[in-house]
């Protein structure tokens, strides 16, 4: 009795997933669904975070290549080589809040890339949907929304691009930028 109930539930879920992840623009539908799920569990607050951290990042955005005089053991001193987002902020005239909004947009694009990447490996729309939904409930999926200036989500986005691209120059560029977004990207 219980196994048949569970089997019916999973059957309905997979039927829905099969219908949902079909059509010409199914990647966009998957990205919208995953973004909505992420927003339900991790709604962003683009103005939160420690004032000293926000001020330090804004200062780095204004002058990304100028050495700042932070105490050597401080968190801001450890961010000196995380240059990708401050340079982007400087080029696009964005402050920390604008960069966090940009990172949220990259989260939407991340789900499109992951769905296409999984589909290119498996040729299965439903599995692509399931993998993307799985990402929404772990740190990678929420890092685009809850970040207060570490820009982990941007590093994950750039790393997903390295797996998606096939041209060595694009792969190198994405890895290079990811490493200067968060040094853990090199691992």
Token representation of residue 164: 């998606």
Q: 10 Å Cβ neighbour count for 7?
A: 10
More confidently predicted of 159 and 74: 159
Question: Quick check: 61 and 89 in contact, CB under 8 A?
Answer: yes
Number of domains in the chain: 1
Tell me, letter by letter, the H, E, C secondary structure of 66-118. CCCCCCCCCHHHHCCCCCHHHHHHHHHCCCHHHHHHHHHHHHHHHHHHHHHHH
Whether the predicted pLDDT of 114 surpasses 90 = yes
The span from the CA of 183 to the CA of 187, in Å, is 8
By residue range, what is the domain housing residue 42?
A: 2-186
Instruction: Give pTM, 2 decimals.
Output: 0.88
CA 85 vs. chain centroid, Å, equals 13
Q: What number is the average pLDDT over the span 75-96?
A: 88
């Amino acid at each position: 009795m219980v196994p048949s109930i569970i089997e019916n539930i999973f059957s309905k879920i997979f039927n829905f997933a099969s219908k949902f992840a079909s059509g010409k623009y199914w990647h966009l539908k998957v990205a919208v669904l995953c973004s909505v799920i992420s927003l339900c569990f991790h709604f962003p607050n683009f103005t939160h975070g420690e004032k000293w951290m926000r001020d330090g990042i804004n200062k780095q955005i204004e002058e990304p290549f100028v050495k700042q005089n932070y105490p050597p053991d401080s968190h801001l001193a450890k961010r000196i080589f995380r240059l990708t987002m401050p340079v982007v902020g400087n080029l696009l005239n964005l402050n920390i809040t604008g960069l966090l909004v940009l990172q949220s947009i990259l989260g939407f694009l991340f789900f499109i890339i992951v769905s296409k990447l999984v589909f290119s490996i498996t040729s299965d729309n439903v599995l692509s949907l399931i993998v993307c939904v799985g990402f929404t409930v772990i740190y990678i999926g929420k890092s685009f929304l809850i970040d207060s200036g570490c820009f982990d989500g941007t590093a994950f986005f750039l790393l997903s691009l390295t797996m998606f691209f096939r041209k060595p120059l694009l792969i190198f560029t994405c890895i290079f930028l990811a490493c200067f977004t968060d040094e853990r990207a090199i691992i």
